[in-house]
Amino acid sequence: MNKKPSKGYLKISISIIIILIFLLNTSINVIGEKIIKKPTIEIDDDPFSLLETGDILLIYEPRYEKGILTLSYWSHCLLYVGNDEFIDATGRLGVSRSPVEKTKARTDVDNFAILSVKGDYDVSKVVSFVEDKIGYPYDFRALMSPQKQINASKSEYGYGYTCTELIWAAYLDGVNINLDSNNRGWMTLWEMYTNKNVEVKYVQKPEKVVLKGFEIIFNLFTCYI
Ligand SMILES: [Ca+2]
């Protein structure tokens, strides 16, 4: 007997929820457009030639699209340490050094950005921090909860670094520049891209760099609030 009115109520509720989600999604996409940073340099030659020691390479790997691990357009970051080499933290290798050529040759990367951290500082302190951490494990613990640390333990069970955590720690400990915009929780890739201390030098496909829907909500909470 009560089925009819409850079904009608349910339909109205679902409609209202759909409209609210639509409105929310539209408005946060507008906010998203406003926080996109545009590149400052356009070149026709090899963009990797723009890399200077201390620069950060952000890459977009389509296989992580809509993934729950990054919740950002970008999927990974590497620190350029000079001599045609990067140091980064990955789930497979932990903190390790690799030639720029290796990343350049990757066919599973569909877009990349080169970021430069602004300011007058001794970049060798940033580089020596990450060089000192080579061999540390990946911080799988950070995937479960929003935490990070400057001086990680070398425990095999997840007290190392994520890719963003390593670079954040290097800049904060080395030269007192904080890439964590809201200074708490995760250090996200989007936070790195939009941070006020960061200049976006180059983006391969700038028109593709965008956050959508819940990525924006997530990043509002982890970067700004
Ligand atoms: Ca944060």
Residues with CB under 5 A from ligand 1 (ion): 180, 182, 185, 222
* Cα-to-centroid distance, 217 and ligand 1 (Å): 13
Q: What is the predicted pLDDT for the residue at 156? A: 66
44 pLDDT band, cuts 50/70/90, is: low
CA of 195 to the centre of ligand 1 (A): 10
Model pLDDT, residue 169? 96
Question: Which residues does 89 contact at the CB level (< 8 Å), separation at least 6?
Answer: 95, 96, 136, 138, 139, 160, 161, 162, 163, 165, 166
More confident residue, 1 or 132: 132
Q: Are residues 99 and 157 in the same domain?
A: yes
Same domain, 146 and 59: yes
Residues 47 and 140 in one domain: yes
| 52 C-alpha to ligand 1 centroid (Å) | 25
* 127 pLDDT above the threshold of 70: yes
Looking at 50-54, 99-103, 159-163, which range is the least confident one? 159-163
Residue bearing tokens 């590149």: 39
Amino acid identity, position 178 = N
Same domain membership, residue 125 and residue 156:
yes
- Tell me the mean pLDDT in the region 160-174: 96
How does residue 66 score in pLDDT terms, banded at 50, 70 and 90? low
What's residue 119's pLDDT? 95
Distance 2 CA to ligand 1 centre (A): 49
- How many domains, in total, are found in the chain? 2
Output the CA 153–ligand 1 centroid distance in Å.
21
Phi, psi of 76 (to 5 degrees): -160, 155
Domain residues for 13?
1-34
Q: Can you tell me the distance from the alpha carbon of 118 to that of 109, in angstroms, rounded to the nearest whole number?
A: 26
What's the rounded Cα separation, in Å, for the pair 127 and 78?
A: 12
Q: What separation in Å is there between the alpha carbon of 188 and the centre of ligand 1?
A: 6
How much distance in Å is there from the Cα of 12 to the middle of ligand 1?
38
How far is the centre of ligand 1, averaged over its atoms, from the C-alpha of 6 (Å)? 43
209 lies in the same domain as 144? yes
**Helix, strand, coil content of the chain in percent (nearest 5):** 40, 15, 40
Give yes or no: residues 25 and 63 share one domain. Answer: no
Q: State pTM to two decimals.
A: 0.80
In a shared domain, residues 2 and 88: no
Could you give the CA distance from residue 115 to residue 38 in angstroms, rounded to a whole number?
11
The pLDDT mean for the chain works out to: 84
Give me the pLDDT at residue 182, please.
86
Same domain? 52 vs 13? no
Confidence of residue 85 (pLDDT cuts 50, 70, 90): very high
Q: How far is the CA of 54 from the centre of ligand 1 (A)?
A: 21
- Maximum average pLDDT range among 58-72, 119-133, 198-212: 119-133
User: What pLDDT sits at residue 11?
Assistant: 84
Distance 147 CA to ligand 1 centre (A): 9
